Structure 1
Amino acid sequence: MREVFQQELREVQDRLVELSGLVAISIEKATRAFNDSDVMLAEEVIADDDKIDGLTVALDELAIMILARQQPVARDLRIVVSALRISASLERMGDMSTHIAQLARYRFPDKVVPKSLRGTFAEMGRLDVEIAQKLTELLRSQDVQLAETIRNDDDEIDALHLSVFDKVLGETWKGQAADTVDATLASRYHERFADHAVSIAKKVLYLATGDWDPDAPSA
């Protein structure tokens, strides 16, 4: 029975890695669709979100089945419960990618944001893609150093997020009302994507070391 239980725990980890990998693909496509005004790519991201949602449900059902049948305790219980919370954050990260892609679709054939902000959003997208890739590797390896680099990347995104608000609220801003709304929403989606990744990294760090970081954001 113990061997079966350990196999089930490994399957939970494998499914988290698979789900995270799909989220990484989703944000990479979404940022390209956003920056390049690629409506076909945006449609792919929106359609593929159903697969992320389906895998999340299947993973949660597996975790609940383990709780019911195996009645884990101590660290094993923390692993299963953490998997439920991590899968929820990954699903929300997929939603953030979808929202970014939806903005690209709504504004096609125009760019979503004015030229003065495109460099900022290109950098935010690049960082989100890197974070998603690092998160997938963190879930695979539980390399605690990756958790710290994810947090550092999130700090950079937070700074860029604030710079967007400074821009659209500044006296020199020439954008229309729709430009202001789009820029604000897009910046928030990028920022929340990274916040969810930090929340996951915090949970993995706790499982790996037993240390809980109360200062890391929770999703």
Structure 2
Amino acid sequence: MRDAYQEQMSALNTVLGQMVEEVGRAMEMSTRSLLEADLELAERVISDHDAIAEQSVEAEDLAFKLMALQAPVAGDLRSIVSGFQLVSEIDRMGALALHVAKVARRRHPAKVLPEEVAGYFEEMGRLAVELAHNAHRVLESQDYHDALSLMDDDDAMDDLHRHLFTVMMDREWEHGVSAAVDVTLLGRYYERYADHAVLIARRVVFQATGKTPEQLLEAS
């Protein structure tokens, strides 16, 4: 019985890892479509989103089977509940990458971003993909030390997001309200994407230790 549980839990973590890699790839393509006004890339992200949704269903089915067939208790139950929560976090990351692609498609053939902010989004896109890769690593290792490190990785994203507003509030902003709205929304999408990657790390910490990151830090 225990071996069956471990195999099914491993299968769930594998699907979760595949999902987070897919949402990382989606955000990478979405960022390129945004920077290059590449309609083909934007359309690919939009069409590929169905595959992420299918993986979500598969992951939830695995979690339900673990719940129903293995009669989990204590730590096992904690891991399964965390699995449901992880599916939700990764789903939201995929949805945010999809939103970016839809903005690029809506503005095509024009570029969405004024030159003053394009560099910010190039770096935000790079950080978002890196966070997805790190989340995948944490899901595979289930190492709460790695997870705690990932939680610090979104500070750079927060800094970039704050600086965007400085640029838009500058008196020399000449791109109008529409561009300002696009930049504001897009900045929020990237910030929230990073937040969900951090929430994945928090779930893994709890899954591995039964404690929140704050409780671990207090105990150390």
Q: What TM-score, normalized by structure 2, do the two folds share? A: 0.92
Q: What is the CA deviation profile of residues 75-126 of structure 1, one whole-angstrom value per residue up to 9, with x for unaligned ones?
A: 1101100000001100000001001111111111211111000111111111
1:120 corresponds to = 120
Counterpart contact for 1:135–1:146, Cα < 8 Å: no
Counterpart contact for 2:49–2:94, Cα < 8 Å: yes
Question: 5+ unaligned residues in a row in structure 2: which ranges?
Answer: 216-220
1:47 corresponds to = 47
Q: Name the CA distance, whole Å, in 2 between partners of 1:144 and 1:193.
A: 21
2:182 corresponds to = 182
Please show how residues 126-141 of structure 1 align to structure 2 within 5 Å.
126-141=126-141
Q: Name the CA distance, whole Å, in 2 between partners of 1:199 and 1:154.
A: 11
Q: Does 1:201 align with 2:206?
A: no
2:110 corresponds to = 110
Give the CA RMSD over aligned residues. 1.5
Q: Name the CA distance, whole Å, in 1 between partners of 2:144 and 2:113.
A: 36
SS at match of 1:153: coil
Go from structure 1 to structure 2 and tell me whether the alpha carbon gap of 1:182 and 1:205 turns closer, same or farther (over 3 Å shift): same
Partner letter of residue 42 of structure 1? A
Q: What is the CA deviation profile of residues 147-202 of structure 1, one whole-angstrom value per residue up to 9, with x for unaligned ones?
A: 24432331111111111122223322211111011100110000000000000101
**Percentage of pairs with the same residue:** 39
**How far has the Cα of 1:133 moved from its partner?**
0.9
Partner letter of residue 84 of structure 1? F
2:146 corresponds to = 146
Which sits farther off after the overlay, 63-72 or 203-212? 203-212
Counterpart contact for 1:5–1:70, Cα < 8 Å: yes
Question: 5+ unaligned residues in a row in structure 1: which ranges?
Answer: none
